[in-house]
Structure 1
Amino acid sequence: MKIRAGFHLGYECERPTPMLLVLNIHPSRRADLLTEQTLSFDRPIEAWGYIDGFGNACSRIVAPAGLTTITTEFEIYDGGLPDPIPQNAFQHEIKDLPDDVLVYLLGSRYCDTDLLADFAWKRFSSTPLGWPRVRTILDFAHNHIKFDYKKADPLRTASGGYTDRVGVCRDFAHLAITLCRCMNVPARYCTGYLGDIGVPKDPNPMDFSAWFEVYLGGHWHTVDARHNTPRIGRILMATGRDATDVALTTAFGSAKLSRFEVKTEEAPGT
């Protein structure tokens, strides 16, 4: 399967503003590219790339005063299969986890494990270890939060999502990630493209999507508390502890988002 994806993002700056961009696809997917995936700017801007501490391909720029539009368009190969379900994946003892995985058991900016740990142990301690426990947490988060674009709140934490019971894909992810960490299952936040492939078309405007991964049986496995069903055609952009680490843009000054268009769809004839 061939997927065509990309975006047009516009930022209005009052003065020259340094920005960090996490807008490239993840290095793990670059081998699947059928065309180049590069960032383009509608004004002369110097951009330089780097790999952050989580392995994401990032860029640094200084956006000039006024409106700057950032774009990318590309085609990528996808196997066309739904996310695999790790039915028999086991849960590691903490002492057996790789050193670099341990950070995904800790609380973070949006995953406030200290506020949800007591609830998590009361609710999930009787579930079987490994995938059955993760499955139960996914079901809980999926049913506990109502999806509503109008109720998006960039300051809402996992405990806030638990209390408010409403939010967008990042809120589903933050709540489920936090509950997994409380139950000693490493979990990391993911962001990327997810089109309406193999499912009814969503009438809302296309957006980037948030899901997460759990570490079971020596591997990271894709899971999604919002949709709570395997999906086709995910294109990973970045992973991190929570939404802070994978923010599309981080501006060190005023930068107003004035244009936001995302596209991801199966290319015709594939």
Structure 2
Amino acid sequence: MQIRVGFEMAYRCPQPTPMILALSIHYSRASDLVRPDYLVSNPSVPVAAYRDLFGNWCSRLVAPAGHFVLSADALVNDSGMPDVVAPWATQTPVEHLPESTLVFLLGSRYCETDQLSEIAWQQFGSGPPGWARVQAICDFVHRHIEFGYQHARRTRSAMEAYNERRGVCRDFAHLAIAFCRCMNIPARYCTGYLGDYGTEPPYGTMDFAGWFEAFLGDRWYTFDARNNTPRVGRVLIARGRDACDVALASTFGPNTLEGFRVWTDVTSEQ
């Protein structure tokens, strides 16, 4: 199937404002792009691009003073298959983990493993390791946090989400990531597009989604504590230690976000 994905973000800047953007579809989906997600700005400004430390494709620009709009609109081929479920996947001992995964065992800005370690071991230490342990973490987080866009707060950490018991998809992901790391399972934050395909209405307002990946056996697997069920049509944008590493837009000056729209639609467009 094909999925049309894109966004439009409108800013008002009182002065020229440098921006770093992590809004491009991840290179792992490059071969699926039927229509690339070219970044378009209005008014048009020069854009430079680079790969960050995690391999994400980032853009740099300077927004002019006044009204400034960023947008992209892509068409992506997708297998139509749900997230992989692998209950046989084992937990790799820390001493045998690939070096590239080790950074995802450590605490980070939004995932305070030092504060959550005792809670994690009390809650999950007696259960089976591997896939079952990650799924137990997802089950717990899914039950523990009340989802609601009115609960969104960009500074909320995993420990705060645990204590407040409310949040949005990034809070579900942060708490599950922190618990996984406490249990010696590498886990990394993912952001991207995820539509409502295959789910029952009513549908909420479309937004970028946050989920996570856990390293089991010899590969990374997708988990989603917010939805807690395999989903179809994820389109990855970026990965990092937590949401701090994959901020959609980092701005270096005063500005106001005046408009924000995201779309993710299965389409018959060819």
Q: 1:9 to 1:191 in 2, by over 3 A?
A: same
**CA-to-partner distance for each residue in 1:104-154, whole Å, 9 max, x for gaps?**
000000001111001101111111110011010000000000001101111
Conservation of the 8 A alpha-carbon contact between 2:196 and 2:203: no
2:133 aligned partner, one-letter code:
R
Look up the match of 2:217: 217
Conservation of the 8 A alpha-carbon contact between 2:191 and 2:236: yes
TM-score (ref. length: structure 2): 0.98
Which segment drifts farther, 173-182 or 248-257? 248-257
2:257 aligned partner, one-letter code:
L
Look up the match of 1:91: 91
CA distance in 1, matches of 2:69, 2:139: 39
TM-score (ref. length: structure 1): 0.98
Which segment drifts farther, 136-145 or 200-209? 200-209
Look up the match of 1:120: 120
The residue correspondences of 1:160-239 to structure 2 (distance < 5 A) are 160-239=160-239
CA distance in 1, matches of 2:30, 2:12: 30
CA distance in 2, matches of 1:236, 1:201: 23
Which segment drifts farther, 260-269 or 152-161? 260-269
Question: Is it true that 1:14 corresponds to 2:14 in the alignment?
Answer: yes
**CA-to-partner distance for each residue in 1:36-68, whole Å, 9 max, x for gaps?**
221000112110000000010000011111111
Look up the match of 1:25: 25
Conservation of the 8 A alpha-carbon contact between 1:2 and 1:76: yes
**CA-to-partner distance for each residue in 1:144-180, whole Å, 9 max, x for gaps?**
0000110111111000000000000000000000000
Look up the match of 1:36: 36
CA distance in 2, matches of 1:75, 1:203: 21
Conservation of the 8 A alpha-carbon contact between 1:196 and 1:202: no
Consecutive unaligned residues of structure 2, counting only runs of 5 or more, are none
Conservation of the 8 A alpha-carbon contact between 2:40 and 2:71: yes
Look up the match of 1:244: 244
Q: 1:54 to 1:62 in 2, by over 3 A?
A: same
Conservation of the 8 A alpha-carbon contact between 1:12 and 1:256: yes
Shift of 1:11: 1.3
Structural RMSD (CA): 1.0
1:24 aligned partner, one-letter code:
S
Partner secondary structure for residue 103 of structure 1 = helix
Shift of 1:202: 4.4
Shift of 1:269: 6.9
Look up the match of 2:101: 101
2:210 aligned partner, one-letter code:
A
Look up the match of 1:136: 136
Consecutive unaligned residues of structure 1, counting only runs of 5 or more, are none
Shift of 1:256: 1.5
1:259 aligned partner, one-letter code:
G
2:54 aligned partner, one-letter code:
F
CA distance in 2, matches of 1:162, 1:3: 34
Partner secondary structure for residue 73 of structure 1 = strand
CA distance in 2, matches of 1:202, 1:25: 27
Question: Is it true that 1:156 corresponds to 2:146 in the alignment?
Answer: no
Partner secondary structure for residue 115 of structure 1 = helix
Shift of 1:200: 1.8
